[in-house]
Structure formats: structure tokens, C-alpha cells
Amino acid sequence: MNDTDKSRNADLKKLLALESSPGKSRYLKHLLIWGVLILVVIFIIFKWVMGQNGSEIEYKTVEAQRGNLTVTVTATGNLQPTNQVDVGSEVSGTIESVSVDYNDFVKAGQVLARLDTTKLEAQANQSQAAVKSARANLLQAQATLLEAKNEMDRFAHVRQLSGGKMPSDQEFESAEAAVKRAQANEAMIRANIAEAEAKLRVDQTNLEKAVIISPINGVVLVRSVEPGQTVAASLQAPVLFTLAEDLTQMELHVNVDEADVGQVKEGQQAAFTVDAYSDRTYPAHITQVRYGSQSSEGVVTYPTVLNVDNSDLSLRPGMTATADIVVKQVDNALLVPNAALRYAPQQQETETVGTERGGSLLSRLFPRPSRTRPKKSDESGGGKKQRVWTLRDNQPVAISVTTGATNGIMVEIISGEVAAGQPLIIEEVGKGK
């Protein structure tokens, strides 16, 4: 019986061992796989960190140079004639004829168009007749006044002869009143004559203005009238022609941004281009910087006028132009690229500590971020204290400089330990062993 129990216990232990071995083996297998993966990851990170620490940073440099620096302000605007005149009609009527067309050159006093003058001539004739009638009435009034004065003189003579007895006072006063009425009538008729003559002058002027003439020497830019068209001049004179005087001299009106207007002054030189001649540059110079501002979508600009020579008549009114205004010229200046002012080593402190002091594996795997912040450069110049970096023993070294004018690409170095031909770092271009 005991042997049987022992045999059964032995069989049970074997069975339990067989049932538990697969789960145990799977656990050991998973543990082994994760351990290998962790070791591989640690090895890869270690190799990458060691590779990074064992490599040298490559720098892209540009040499400082001497040259001329031109600072410009860019503005856009439109070309306009120096003198543009809108020619209209002060009188109403029907256009009888038009004597000019677009692009015609005209002289001062030249006939541009004529209105039908039938009605205007009739009004002038009527006014002239009214003047003649008023003058005839004046002659009649003068005769009446003469009669009244003669009658008054006769009464005065009779009274003198009769010793004041004849004529009676009433008759004498009536004679005096008749003289005054005749004088008043004469004055009124003279006023009527003046009024009729003024009306005649108005009608004659309207008749003359029915002929539209050019007030200036120039070229016809706009012709907005045709023969047979009715012109109604009521509250505002309609514009029939637009003339530009002397297109050989034009003006470029540009809008200068408020941030740049402090540098723009009268007499400064400029150059501009237009889309019609993209390969050609036209010279100009500033004649006026206006104090009045313009605001569009929150942008404040100041109108600036440039004088333009257009002797070949290649430029036309209304063309859009982009002008570069020269606000400062520096000759033989020490120049460095603006990119040299923007550069600053990003991880110099971290890499120096890791390389020179060795550092732990943990510090190499998880390095601290660099405390060195990129230095902001002021590209506006104006005597600002800034820094540039040069290479000494393949290590970046900072140099303090004072900057001056800049054109956005190059900046003038006023003072600092920088010499022409000295390489300056502008960027880190890569790493290699």
C-alpha cells in the first residue's frame, strides 16, 4: 500500500512538472527578448552619443570686406503729369464738331470742339436790342428833363419880374417836382442801360465759350465727347477733355512708410522701374515730402513726389513704378553680412563640458539643454553694440563690434576688432568625424 502511494505521488509530481514547464519557459523567453532589446537600444544610444562627442562641428564663414554701402528705401506709386488740366464747358448745348483726338498735341488757344451757337446767338442779339432800346429811352428821358428845366427857368424869370407875385408857390413847386422826376427817370434809364449791357456781355461771353479752346500746350489724354452729344452745364461743368502739359517732365507720386519717412528728404536721388520696361531703370530725385499722411488698412504712409525726366516719352501717366530712394551712401566701409550678427553658438557650453570633463554615461545619454541663447541682432544699425563670431583653433570666439548703416544684406562695422578678410561665422552647416 505504501509503495502504491509513493508511486502515485511520483507520477503526480512528474505530471505537475510537465504542466508547469511550458509557462515557465515562455516567461523566461519574454524576459530574455526584452533584455536583449534594452541592451540594443542602450548600445545604439551610446554609440550615437559617443559619435556626437567625437565629431567636430563644421562652420560656414564669410570674410569681412571693404566696399561701398548704399542704404535705400523702397516705395511704390504712380506716374503723373506735372500739370494735368480737365477742360469742360460752362454753357449747355449740342456738340457741333470735335477737332482733336486722343494723343494729339495741342497748343494754347487751339480749338478743341464747338457747340451749336444758334440759341446763344439769338440770346446775344436779344440783349443787344435791349441795350439799344434802353439807350433810346435815355434820349427820351433827357428830352423830358430838358423841358422840365426850361419850364422851371421860365417860372423863375416870371417870379423875378413880378416881384414874387407870379407864378404861385404851388405852380413853382410843381415845376421843381417835374424837374426831379425827370432827373430820376433819366437815372433809372441809365441803370437799365447798364443792366442791358451786362446781360449782353454775358450772352456774348457764352457765345465765345461755345468754342472750347485749349488753355495749355500739351497732349490729349482723354476725349469724352462726340459730335451730336448734348452737354448740360448746370451745377457742375462737364469734363470734355483731359490735357497733360509737357510729358517730357513727369512726377512720380509714391507712398513712403511711416517707419522710413524719417530718412527721406528733399533732393535725395532715386531710381525706379516700371512693368512695361522691366529691364530699364529710370533716374529721379525727390522734390517734396508731404506732411499729410494717408492711412490704408491700418498702414500709415506719406506721399512723396519725385521729378522724372521723360524726354523719350517712354513713360505714360498712370504707370505703376517701384522706386528705390538712396537715403545714405557710405564709401570704403568695413562690411560684414547681417547673418554674422544673427549667429550665436547653440550648444557650445554643453558640448565643452561633455568633452573636456568626460561626463557620465547618463549625462551623455540625456544632456542638459544649452543655456546659451541666440543673440538677437539689430539690423537697423545706428551705432548698436553687437557681437560677431570668428574661428580660433576651430572654436567660435565672440568679438564685440559697433554697427552702423545697413541695407538689409550687409552692415557697416564702425568699431571692433574685425579686419578686412577676417572670416566670420554665419551658420553651423553640419557635423562630421
Predicted local distance difference test score (pLDDT) of residue 316: 94
Task: Answer yes or no: is pLDDT of 117 > 60.
Answer: yes
Task: Answer yes or no: is pLDDT of 140 > 80.
Answer: yes
User: Average pLDDT over the chain, rounded to whole?
Assistant: 83
Of residues 175, 156, 174, 176, the one with CA closest to residue 166: 156
Query: For 407-415, what is the mean pLDDT?
Result: 90
Task: Answer yes or no: is pLDDT of 87 > 70.
Answer: yes
21-25, 53-57, 65-69, range with greatest mean pLDDT: 65-69
> At a CB cut-off of 8 Å and minimum separation 6, what does 180 contact?
none
Task: Answer yes or no: is pLDDT of 250 > 90.
Answer: yes
Predicted local distance difference test score (pLDDT) of residue 172: 76
Task: Answer yes or no: is pLDDT of 15 > 70.
Answer: no
Tens digit of pLDDT for each residue in 223-249?
Answer: 999 999 999 887 777 899 999 988 999
Task: Answer yes or no: is pLDDT of 429 > 80.
Answer: no
Report which of residues 223 and 369 the model is more confident about. 223
CATH topology of domain 56-69+333-432: 2.40.420
The answer to which of 131-140, 159-168, 261-270, 310-319 has the lowest mean pLDDT is: 159-168
Report which of residues 15 and 414 the model is more confident about. 414
Predicted local distance difference test score (pLDDT) of residue 223: 94
Report which of residues 17 and 219 the model is more confident about. 219
Tens digit of pLDDT for each residue in 258-307?
Answer: 999 999 999 999 999 999 998 999 999 999 999 999 998 899 999 999 99
Predicted local distance difference test score (pLDDT) of residue 60: 87
Per-residue pLDDT band for 374 (boundaries 50, 70, 90) equals very low
Predicted local distance difference test score (pLDDT) of residue 351: 46
Predicted local distance difference test score (pLDDT) of residue 175: 83
Task: Answer yes or no: is pLDDT of 205 > 70.
Answer: yes
Task: Answer yes or no: is pLDDT of 327 > 80.
Answer: yes
Tell me the C-alpha distance between 394 and 355, whole Å: 15
Report which of residues 425 and 251 the model is more confident about. 251
Query: For 396-409, what is the mean pLDDT?
Result: 89
Report which of residues 323 and 406 the model is more confident about. 323
Predicted local distance difference test score (pLDDT) of residue 7: 60
Question: Where are the chain's structural domains?
Answer: 56-69+333-432, 117-209
Query: For 46-55, what is the mean pLDDT?
Result: 57
Per-residue pLDDT band for 2 (boundaries 50, 70, 90) equals low
